[in-house]
């Protein structure tokens, strides 16, 4: 009887190996950065007064957090708000999203989900043709969310519908991103007077809890 040849162990996919190398490289860079910052902190402790040391160490800690957020992704539960089928209120829908920890990345992911519309119950609050162009967040916590012109041109109209469009966007951002304090809705890179002729959209909006339906 001829002996069966044993199969050679399957080779690890090339893409998987490359992914592992990238992760190791990212960890090494982060470790080196933390090491350098720790050395700087030690120097500040030795040569600075206590108050200045505490201020500087807080600043460097924020830098470490910012770098870590840019390097690594996280999976988190997002609360999305869409129109209720029975009332002129907003209803919650929960989805798991995977993004980098940077607030702007989270906001961008949230707005893409709002444009997609509800997956369960509820009605969409933006026209299906709407495209998200960009998002930004300044140091004061003001978010600018920029959509394509379809947000206005294809909007169904009506004051209730316009109100739900605005606060579906605004409340979704503010519920999920603690760094965000107010939201301004823009179209094609510019501030707008209104979406459907009833509500002034020139300024940014704060949270509006009264429009969220309680279960």
Spatial CB neighbours of 157, under 8 Å, sequence gap ≥ 6: 196, 197
Rounded Cα–Cα distance for residues 96 and 119 (Å): 13
Spatial CB neighbours of 98, under 8 Å, sequence gap ≥ 6: 73, 74, 75, 76
In SS3 terms, 62-96 reads as HHHHHHHHHHCEEEEEEEEEEECCCCCCEEEEEEE
Identify whether the C-beta of residue 171 lies closer than 8 Å to the C-beta of residue 95: no
Identify whether the C-beta of residue 184 lies closer than 8 Å to the C-beta of residue 197: no
Closest of 141, 57, 71 to residue 102, by C-alpha = 71
Question: Once rounded to an integer, what is the mean pLDDT over residues 15-25?
Answer: 51
Task: Tell me how crowded residue 54 is: count the other CB atoms within 10 A of its CB.
Answer: 13
pLDDT tens track for 75-112? 999 999 999 999 999 999 999 999 988 999 999 999 99
Domain borders along the chain are 21-71, 74-211
pTM (predicted TM-score): 0.70
| Stretch among 24-38, 48-62, 137-151, 165-179 having the lowest mean pLDDT | 48-62
């Amino acid at each position: 009887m001829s002996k069966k040849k044993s199969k050679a162990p399957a080779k690890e996919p090339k893409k998987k190996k490359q992914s592992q190398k990238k992760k190791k490289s990212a960890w090494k860079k982060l470790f080196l950065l933390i090491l350098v910052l720790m050395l700087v902190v030690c120097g500040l402790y030795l040569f600075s007064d206590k108050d200045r040391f505490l201020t500087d160490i807080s600043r460097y800690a924020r830098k470490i957090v910012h770098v870590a957020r840019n390097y690594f992704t996280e999976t988190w539960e997002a609360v999305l708000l869409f129109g209720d089928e029975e009332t002129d209120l907003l209803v919650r829908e929960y989805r798991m999203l995977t993004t980098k920890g940077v607030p702007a990345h989270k906001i961008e992911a949230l707005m893409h989900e709002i444009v997609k519309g509800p997956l369960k119950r509820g009605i969409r609050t933006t026209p299906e043709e709407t495209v998200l162009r960009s998002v930004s967040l300044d140091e004061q916590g003001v978010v600018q969310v920029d959509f394509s012109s379809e947000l206005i041109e294809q909007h169904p109209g009506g004051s209730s519908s316009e109100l739900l469009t605005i606060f579906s966007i605004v409340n979704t951002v503010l519920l999920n991103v603690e760094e965000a304090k107010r939201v301004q809705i823009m179209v094609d890179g510019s501030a707008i007077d209104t979406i459907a002729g009833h509500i002034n959209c020139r300024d940014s909006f704060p949270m509006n809890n009264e429009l969220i339906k309680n279960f």
